Amino acid sequence: MTGEHELRPGFVAIPVPGHTKGSVVFLLDDRWLFTGDSLAWSNEHDDLTAFRSACWFSWREQADSLATLAEQHRFSAVLPGHGARHLGDPDDLRDRLVRLVARMRR
């Protein structure tokens, strides 16, 4: 899949290659972000996280994809396939995602 695709009004599929080549997140109503294995909440670190040990395609592309996600979308819920879910302020989550991308690029 290349580019975003609105599946239904308010329900968007967003490609985020990295975890796998075809990884996608789904954003519902600009609030609920279903992240699969691309992004999760870490209760241990009280912050967003990505799983380098479970990155089957490209860590660099995953960081780039998440950076694009932070630039283009706001959300207040992270609902992963693995890891903890989290509800929060959209601006705070965006800032945390930007910082996560910076950590991933080190």
Residue-level pLDDT at 72? 97
- pLDDT in the model for residue 25: 98
Average pLDDT in the 58-86 region? 97
**Range list of β-strands (E), the chain:** 5-8, 11-15, 24-28, 32-36, 40-42, 47-49, 77-80, 86-87
Predicted TM-score of the model (pTM): 0.95
pLDDT at 64: 98
Encode pLDDT of 9-62 as tens digits.
Answer: 999 999 999 999 999 999 999 999 999 999 999 999 999 999 999 999 999 999
Which superfamily, per CATH, for 5-104? Answer: Ribonuclease Z/Hydroxyacylglutathione hydrolase-like (3.60.15.10)
* Structure token digits, residue 81: 């396939």
Domain ranges of the chain: 5-104
